[in-house]
Structure 1
């Protein structure tokens, strides 16, 4: 008897019912079961035949199926052991192009599991989406691209422009390392179970040349201070880092407030901190 192919697999709702599985709220799980949506995300990611993709939090494998359909090789990192049997069934139908790792994505060495250049494509668990992104932006692993789903509020913060209400630390750090754009919005009803908020997909592509890690570290300090007291003038909010003298060294108005300083301005402040 021949093994099933991806096209032979039953709908995800049937698979979940067969295994009697529900989303676990403590893991921030909300499943995408509509293959039309997951296929669109796979297209937006730009991955294809032979590409290596890391997917965090695949759950029952809706997005995983769509990524495998592109011909990519997928490394799936799943913390919830309940979904490992479902993913193993999917692996059997994908000619060995799916590798499954059970573990906490915050602790997994992404460079080691990728084994080389790789893309990140994930419907991230809501409760760890932002810490995971910060890890990937500031850590040693540099993905070829990241196509990631977040709560819409978080997605807007990543891609925000200076003077936007959502502009803050996350935008500055993200846009120092990558170009960032919201490429897809999804209503809550697209998920099972529906979350209380809308979601959005952000496409991030690392900038060349890569920024110096010391600059990114200094940028995290500067933005933490500046946006931690965003209603204050920079001379006050950055007092612990040099205040007005630091601003003058960086060529930034010390009477300005954080939300009016663009990414390049914060990079100048970070360089001034570095000396």
Structure 2
């Protein structure tokens, strides 16, 4: 691990501050600063952007973002033990790092970030999917962020980029791909982390589109998709029966066979059905 700045190695930081990872907080620390810098580069040019980071822990990715030229980083950390380590980084990068001790699920970051905003994070496993869904379903589109560069368990990453016809395809794929481009940019083995998780991890790059790929009311589409995938083994005429008394006619009108199952339906067809049900 070569140095990317003049700060101590992360293992020393963890030892100094007693930062053993807490399972209850979904913590798995990434200590290789070469890897954290590589993740920061996946997010693209950071020099003209503010970056929101959730769950920085001892600050490995934080240091990568700053070393790669982020205009400003706002790091939100729930674990009070990590704050002194993050404040040490803030002192080394004057005016470029704001550390917020708090819960990202409760944070309104409007007052802390100036657009354009990129979100880059090794998300805690226990809140990662919930945060992603919130970022993908704002009241207005385009969202306040231009891109998301996020670390997930490999299984979750595959659900985000999945295509129709497979078991991984579901609500998360539709929410992400309806209004954004998605790709898996990098995979990491368990031994890259401390402590090593039981699963492989992956970095997903999500770029917001200016407008949705197909017109649909977001709330209606969300209802349709949730109903379809909550009973994904059933035919759509059964799983969607509660949405409309004439659901079979609506399905046919949208170009969907009533006997089809949710995992076989492309996003365009779900949007067509949502427009008919609206």
Residues 1:98 and 2:97 are matched in the alignment: yes
Residue in structure 1 matching 2:33, options 32, 35, 47: 35
Could you say which residue in structure 1 is the equivalent of 2:172? Answer: 170
Aligned-pair CA distance for 1:75: 0.6
Q: Secondary structure at the match of 1:154?
A: helix
Aligned-pair CA distance for 1:216: 2.0
CA RMSD of aligned residues (A): 1.8
Cα distance in 2, alignment partners of residues 112 and 240 from structure 1: 41
Runs of 4+ in 1 over 4 A off after TM superposition: 210-214
Aligned-pair CA distance for 1:132: 0.2
Aligned-pair CA distance for 1:238: 0.5
Could you say which residue in structure 1 is the equivalent of 2:63? Answer: 65
Residue in structure 2 matching 1:15, options 10, 13, 16: 13
Superposed counterparts of 1:40-189, under 5 Å: 40-72=38-70, 73-140=72-139, 141-189=143-191
Residue range with higher mean Cα deviation, 121-130 or 46-55: 46-55
For the 8 Å contact 2:63–2:89, the answer to whether it is kept is yes
For 1:33-87, what per-residue CA distance to the aligned partner results, in whole angstroms no more than 9, with x for missing partners?
Answer: 1011111101111032232100000000000000001221101111111111111
Cα distance in 1, alignment partners of residues 92 and 164 from structure 2: 47
For the 8 Å contact 1:6–1:93, the answer to whether it is kept is no
Residues 1:258 and 2:257 are matched in the alignment: no
Q: Secondary structure at the match of 1:106?
A: helix
For the 8 Å contact 1:156–1:166, the answer to whether it is kept is yes
Cα distance in 1, alignment partners of residues 213 and 79 from structure 2: 35
Residue in structure 2 matching 1:268, options 258, 272, 277: 272
Aligned residue pairs, count: 270
Superposed counterparts of 1:213-252, under 5 Å: 215-242=217-244, 243-252=247-256
